[in-house]
Amino acid sequence: MNLLENESVRRVEKFIRLFDQNQKVIVLNSSARTASDAASSLGCEVGAIIKSLLFKTDDTFSLCLIAGDKRVSLNKLKRIINKKDVSMASADEVKKITGFTIGGVSPVGHINNLTSIIDSSLERFENLYAAAGHPNCVFKINFSNLKKITNGSIKNIAE
């Protein structure tokens, strides 16, 4: 099957093309399941890869978008969302809430509305790459448009 026909990839492509008709999904010959894999496949710095990580509290989920060379600080995230208990969502929760499997979680095109928090360290790159619904699919975007397309808030959430 052509990866561009995958339901999750089509959902992302529709979303990004509504934002900018020139946007497109890039199909890679090798996996972009991890930030390191994606950077190798694209020939870019690991930090230019956007990791889309889902965190949960008692009653809500938040999507954190962070550079591939950084980790989310749970303490900073707890202060930002004003919750005491925050943890990574399980693989099943990620699939249920976003509609994507781990390794292909996009910053956009989720099946549920999510609050997005964008780490400020991503701003250091001219071009960023994000998963597009499948481990072999990405899309390219700049920091300003990432903020616009996700309606995310910019915060320092890196360790």
For residue 25, give the DSSP letter. P
CA atoms within 13 A on the CB side of 116: 25
- For the chain, which ranges sit under pLDDT 70? 1
pLDDT score for 4? 85
Question: Is the pTM of the predicted complex or chain greater than 0.85?
Answer: yes
Q: Residue 118's pLDDT is what?
A: 98
Structure confidence at residue 1 (pLDDT):
59
pLDDT computed for residue 68 by the predictor: 96
Q: Which domains does the chain have, with CATH numbers?
A: 3-153 (3.90.960.10)
What's the pLDDT score for residue 59?
79
